[in-house]
Structure 1
Amino acid sequence: MKNKFCATLFALSLLLTLSSCNFNSTYINREEDKKDAEKVADQFYALLQKKEFQKVDPLLSTQFKAVTSAVKLNNYLSGALNKLGEIKSEKLDHWESKVVRGTNSSATYVLYYIVERTKFQSKETVTLAAENNQIKIQGYNVNSDGLLLGK
């Protein structure tokens, strides 16, 4: 009887221990993750080049939309276009990614671009994250001396 009780107690302890474990694999800066994020960024830049700002909405994360209205985003993109000029080309300068697969899955990507525009060059950061098994834009930032000039 005592053996049966000890075996049950051991099995229960083992079950509790295993159920509280998290099984994850973490990948830092994998080339394939960069390529997945670049596909979304390429779509984004293609729409910016065509000045189709309203069509970027499906590429944006829920978090992005929660803090930035469509009007505010349109004003931001139009302002960058007016002050810096049209996008001639964009080149990925460097990037970072962290993808976690398993119990606590997540994925974040940061792509840093040098963007040639008709008036000024800009350094742009596109931050992306996994949302419902899709990569979505979580943030977009434009830095350029041309933004500091009046007009």
Structure 2
Amino acid sequence: MKNKFYAPFYLLFLLFSLSSCNFNSTYLNREEDKKDAEKVSDQFYALLEQKDFKKLSPLLSNQFKAVTSTPKLNDYLTGIVNKLGEIKSKKLDHWESKVIRGSNASSNYVLYYIVERVKFQSKETVTLTGENNQIKVLGYNVNSEGLFK
């Protein structure tokens, strides 16, 4: 008699336990993730080299667009070209990625470049994130001594 009484409670407990589970797989620094991020980064740099800043918008994440207006971004990129010169070459120095697949999916990538420019060398960081099943630019940072001269 007691077993029949407790059976629904055990079943209910099991149901609640399983419904609160999250099934995720985390991948750190996988080569294939780096390649996916580099494709977007290469498109980004190709537009920078062409000085076609208006076409950057589809590559930018919603978070990036929320904090940086198009005129402000254009001024920033133009200032970099004026102070450091045009891009001659770029080399991926190192990178990091973290991709989570499952019920709490997310993806983050950081690519660190050494960029040879006409006037000065720069260290540039491109931060990317997964957004609507696409990789988008979340941040772009340029460090160079030429910015202080």
TM range (shorter): over 0.9
Match of 2:81 in 1: 81
Match of 1:126 in 2: 126
Q: Deviations over 1:11-51 (max 9, x none)?
A: 11001001111111000000000000000000000000001
Structure 1: gaps of 5 or more residues? none
Match of 2:98 in 1: 98
Separation in 1, partners of 2:117, 2:5: 75
2:77 is aligned with what amino acid?
A: L
Aligned CA RMSD, in angstroms, stands at 0.7
Give 4+ residue runs of structure 1 displaced > 2 Å after superposition.
Answer: 1-5
Aligned length: 149
Match of 1:9 in 2: 9
Separation in 2, partners of 1:22, 1:61: 26
Structure 2: gaps of 5 or more residues? none
Cα deviation, residue 4, structure 1: 2.5
Q: Deviations over 1:37-87 (max 9, x none)?
A: 000000000000001011100000000000000000000000000000000
Separation in 1, partners of 2:96, 2:67: 24
Per the alignment, in what secondary structure is the counterpart of residue 114 of structure 1? strand
Following superposition of structure 1 onto structure 2, how do residues 12-91 of structure 1 map, counting pairs within 5 Å?
A: 12-91=12-91
1:104 is aligned with what amino acid?
A: N
Query: What is the TM-score when the length of structure 2 is the normalising length?
Result: 0.98
% identity of equivalent residues: 75
2:73 is aligned with what amino acid?
A: L
1:119 is aligned with what amino acid?
A: K
Separation in 1, partners of 2:108, 2:72: 24
Separation in 2, partners of 1:4, 1:88: 77
Query: What is the TM-score when the length of structure 1 is the normalising length?
Result: 0.97
Per the alignment, in what secondary structure is the counterpart of residue 112 of structure 2? strand
